[in-house]
């Protein structure tokens, strides 16, 4: 935050100490309680009007919480061991995910492959589009103003903040997600993993590798 930003916008209605240029706006305790009260009131009104049934929100929360990066990792591991599957995954992510029983309900899924000459990075500059059905909810930094702003303009500098130095000779492709298209990075299979089973390989694949802020390190 630069000094000239400092003087304004401290006086808004729920009294937090942040200003408009902070990269990630988080609620303090009072803000979280206010959020809880507001969403409870909304839920009460929707149930009263018969638009949402009692208990339905709780079940939906369970449904939203169940997907996680282990699902994306399964797609990646299968692509590493089965070249035909890899081609199908790159051609039509949604159908290839369905082959493994993984449903991608929210949008089309475009899978982009890292290799020796290309590194892929996924962001959403406008909001928070993210392949939730195969990676779970996006991390806080993914929806931060700083990541949304900078990933598209200076991806190499952003990646260095995540501890990843992409070689100068490799190109960096940035994919800006939207409501209709979600992206998944297919990382490079690491050196030393030749003898590993598909399940073992899936265990190497992290969420950050599938967003593109990290790579799968060599197996020793």
What positions carry a catalytic annotation?
A: 124, 127-129
By CB under 8 A, tell whether 9 contacts other proteins: yes
Cα 95–Cα 82–Cα 214 angle in degrees, nearest 5: 80
Structure tokens at 122: 């996924």
Interface region with other proteins, contact rule CB under 8 A, candidates 8-16, 81-89, 113-121, 188-196: 8-16
Regarding 130 and contact with other proteins (CB under 8 A), the answer is no
Does the protein bind other proteins through residue 127 (CB under 8 A)?
Answer: yes
Give the pairing of strands 118-123 and 181-186: unpaired
Phi/psi at 108 (5° precision)? -70, 150
Q: Does 214 bind other proteins (CB under 8 A)?
A: no
Binding residue count for other proteins, defined by CB under 8 A: 63
Shortest Å, Cβ 202 to other proteins: 21
* Cβ-based neighbour number of residue 218 at 10 Å: 9
Residue 122 near residue 175, CB atoms below 8 Å: yes
For 30, residues 6+ apart whose C-beta sits below 8 A from its C-beta are 14, 15
List 70, 102, 113, 139, residue binding other proteins (CB under 8 A): 139
Q: Which is nearer to other proteins, 20 or 191 (CB)?
A: 20
Q: Which stretch binds other proteins (CB under 8 A): 86-94, 114-122, 156-164, 198-206?
A: 156-164
**Binding flag, residue 6, other proteins (CB under 8 A):** no
């Amino acid at each position: 935050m630069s000094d000239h930003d400092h003087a304004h916008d401290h006086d808004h209605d729920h009294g937090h100490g942040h200003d408009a240029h902070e990269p990630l706006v988080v609620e303090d305790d009072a803000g979280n309680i206010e959020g809880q009260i507001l969403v409870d009131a909304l839920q009460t009104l929707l149930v009263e009007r018969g638009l949402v049934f009692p208990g339905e929100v709780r079940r939906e929360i369970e449904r939203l919480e169940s997907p996680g990066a282990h699902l994306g990792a399964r797609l990646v591991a299968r692509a590493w061991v089965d070249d035909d599957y890899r081609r199908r995954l790159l051609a039509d992510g949604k159908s290839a995910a369905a082959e493994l029983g993984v449903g991608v309900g929210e949008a089309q899924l475009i899978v982009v492959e890292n290799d020796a000459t290309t590194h892929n990075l996924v962001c959403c500059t406008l909001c928070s589009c993210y392949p939730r059905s195969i990676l779970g909810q996006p991390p806080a930094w993914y929806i931060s103003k700083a990541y949304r702003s900078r990933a598209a303009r200076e991806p190499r500098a952003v990646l260095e903040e995540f501890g990843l130095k992409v070689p100068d000779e490799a190109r960096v492709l940035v994919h800006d997600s939207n409501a209709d298209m979600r992206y998944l990075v297919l990382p490079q299979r690491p050196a030393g993993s030749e003898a590993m089973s598909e399940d073992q390989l899936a265990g190497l694949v992290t969420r950050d590798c599938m967003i593109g802020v990290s790579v799968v390190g060599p197996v020793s």
